[in-house]
Structure 1
Amino acid sequence: MVARFRISDLSALSYYLGIVVKQGKEALTLDESAYEAKLLEQSGMADCKPCVTSMEERLKLTKASTVAKVDATLYRSIVGGLRYLVHTRPNIAFIVGYVSRFMEGH
């Protein structure tokens, strides 16, 4: 390709779309911990404790809940952030899909 196109070598990829890329001889690691921290801060959960399961077992959510209403714009923003986070955290894909069902399509 170098013979056909003008290409500059910018060295090994280290950061792409908010994802820190670490390249070793044996493995390639993608890290979004800074993005995770930002998302936790935005959602007011920066001081939460980590858990093994990302969702309470047999949890049933409904739109007709008696819990206080949440800011729909903030909810969509957080769920959108979680959807992006699934690229490096496939273990949260189920719960992100589950909470996505409750986004209003205005």
Structure 2
Amino acid sequence: MAECKPCVISMEERLKLTKASTVAKVDATLYQSIIDDLRYLVHTRPNIAFTVDYVSRFMEDPREDHWAAVKWLLRYVKGTVDHGIIFPKIDGSRMQFTVFSDADMAGDIDG
């Protein structure tokens, strides 16, 4: 993936994956290893949290279509390597966070 073409969104629009996929299987060990690395990356890159969660659902029996979604996400990470969150320490003041979330559980076709 070192020479891949970067992309600007973390997942294809309207992508619907399922555990019941019938396409060819992929190496589960490699798939799980990359997902574990992406889960760690979510700590400083919350913009990929939804996509990482989505592709994590298929770790037990990953297929080519699941793998394609992971590769898409890796291309996004490559194209946004300079993005992240920095929590600066400011003397004498308290940090206050406001968090928003946009979950897509209605799009889960495996229920």
**Normalization by structure 2: what TM-score?**
0.50
Paired residues, what number?
Answer: 61
How far does residue 95 in structure 1 lie from its aligned partner after superposition? 0.3
- Pick the aligned partner of 1:63 from 10, 19, 34: 19
Deviating 4+ runs (over 6 angstroms): none
Q: CA RMSD in A?
A: 1.6
CA distance in 2, matches of 1:81, 1:69: 21
Q: Which runs of 5+ in 1 are unaligned?
A: 1-44
**Normalization by structure 1: what TM-score?**
0.53
Question: Whose radius of gyration is greater, 1 or 2?
Answer: 1
How far does residue 85 in structure 1 lie from its aligned partner after superposition? 0.7
**Structure holding more helix per residue:** 2
CA distance in 2, matches of 1:88, 1:49: 23
CA distance in 2, matches of 1:67, 1:104: 15
Q: Percent identity?
A: 85
Residue 84 (structure 2) aligns with: none
**Structure holding more strand per residue:** 1
1:11-50 → structure 2 map (5 Å cutoff): 45-50=1-6
Q: Which runs of 5+ in 2 are unaligned?
A: 62-111
